[in-house]
Amino acid sequence: MIQINIQNETSRLRAVVLGTAESNGPTPKLEDTYDPKSAQHIEAGTYPKEADMILEMEAVAEVLKKYDVKVYRPDIIKNCNQIFARDIAFAIDDKLIRANILPDRDEEIKAIDYIWNQVAEDKRIILPEECHVEGGDVMPWNDYIFIGTYSGEDYSDYITARTNMDAVIAIQELFPNKTVKSFELRKSNTDPKENALHLDCCFQPIGTNKAILHKNGFLVEREYQWLVDFFGKENIFEITKDEMYKMNSNVFSIAEDVVISERNFTRLNTWLRDNGFTVEEVPYAEIAKQEGLLRCSTLPLIRD
C-alpha cells in the first residue's frame, strides 16, 4: 500500500511519480496542440526530439535517486506524451485525487493505475464530471490550498483554461478545515508570454516562507498582491515575462532547502543559492518547449 502524505510543496520528498518521455510519439500536428508554446515550436521546426527529452528526464531521475526518493514511472503507452505527470492526478493530505483533464488525455491516467490501486480505496478521489482540474493548478501549502482557475464566460474558448470554479468548490468541500484560495490566471491560446497555463507557471512556494512569482500571470492585481503580502516582499523572487516563458517558476523542491532547477536559470539559481538553497541543476530546456517543466513532470506522493 502507498500511504499518501502531502501537506505542502517543499517538505522532504520520499516518493514521487516522474513522467516519461519514452514512446512520446511524432511531433503533433499544429491543430492537435494544447498550448501556444508547443504550437510556436512546431511552426518554427524546433519541437523537442524524444531522445533529448529522455536524457533530460533521466537527469532528474538521477537527482531523485541521489536523495533516496522512491521513483515511480507511468506504464509506457505507445506514441503518447506522458511527460507531465502532474496534470493527471495530485495529492493533498492523505488523498490522491484524479484530475479531470482534457478528454484527449484520458489514457495517460490509465498508465498510473498500478499506483492508484495501491492507495486505500477511501483515499482515492474522483471528482464529479463538471469539475475540470489539473494538478499544475493545485498547490497544498499547509493550512491553505492555492488553486489557479479561470472563471470568465469565455472559459470554453480557451484550451489553456484547465481548472474551473466547480473544481475549486469541490476541493474546498473535500478539505473543509483548509482555506482554499483561488487565483484568476491570464489565458491566451496564441501568445505563450501572455498565458499562464497553470498556477505553477507564474507562482511557486519554496523553502518555508519564500516564493517565485510573476505578476502578469494573474488577471486580478489584488490576488497577486495577496500572495506578496502573504509571503512578504523580501521573500519573493519576481520573474520577468521572458523568465516566465522559460518556466522559471516551475522548479521542484526535494526538501525545504533543496531545489531541482533548470541549469540555464542563472538569475534564479544565483538567488536561490544566496538564500541558502542547494540547487540541483539539470538540463530541461527541450521539455520546457511544451510549456511545462520540473513541477509539471512530477507527482509527489509522500513528503515527510
Would you call 287 helix, strand, or coil by DSSP?
Answer: helix
Using pLDDT thresholds of 50, 70 and 90, give the confidence band for residue 18.
very high
Lowest mean pLDDT among 36-40, 154-158, 243-247: 154-158
- What's the pLDDT at 158? 65
Average pLDDT of 217-244? 96
CATH of the domain at 236: 3.75.10.10
Whether residue 3 is contained in a domain is answered as: no
Percent of the chain with pLDDT over 90: 74
Q: Given this model, what pLDDT does residue 186 score?
A: 87
Task: Give per-residue pLDDT as tens, 95-118.
Answer: 999 988 767 777 888 899 999 999
101 inside domain: yes
Q: What is residue 102's predicted lDDT score, i.e. its pLDDT?
A: 67
Closest CA relative to residue 238, chosen from 282, 204, 266, 261: 204
Q: Is residue 58 part of a domain?
A: yes
Return the SS3 of 160: coil
237 inside domain: yes
Average pLDDT over residues 172-190: 91
- Selection from 258, 249, 270, 244 nearest residue 207 by Cα: 258
Q: Considering its fold, how many domains does the chain have in total? A: 1
Q: Which residues contact 260 (CB under 8 A, 6 or more apart)?
A: 60, 63, 251, 252, 253, 254, 280, 282, 294
| Host domain of residue 111 | 13-303
The answer to whether residue 2 is domain-embedded is no
Instruction: Report the half-sphere exposure of 184 (CA within 13 A, side-chain side).
Output: 9
Within a domain: residue 8?
no
The per-residue pLDDT for range 41-79, each reduced to its tens digit, is: 888 888 889 999 999 999 999 999 999 999 999 999 999
All cell numbers assigned to 272 = 536561490
pLDDT confidence bin for 237, thresholds 50/70/90: very high
Question: Does 37 have pLDDT greater than 80?
Answer: no
Greater confidence, 87 or 251? 251
Residue 247's pLDDT band (boundaries 50, 70, 90)? very high
Q: Which residue has the higher pLDDT, 21 or 191?
A: 21
| Mean predicted lDDT score pLDDT of the chain | 92
Residue 7 lies in a domain: no
In a domain, 4, yes or no: no
For residue range 255-303, what is the model confidence (pLDDT) as tens digits? 999 999 999 999 999 999 999 999 999 999 999 888 789 999 999 999 9
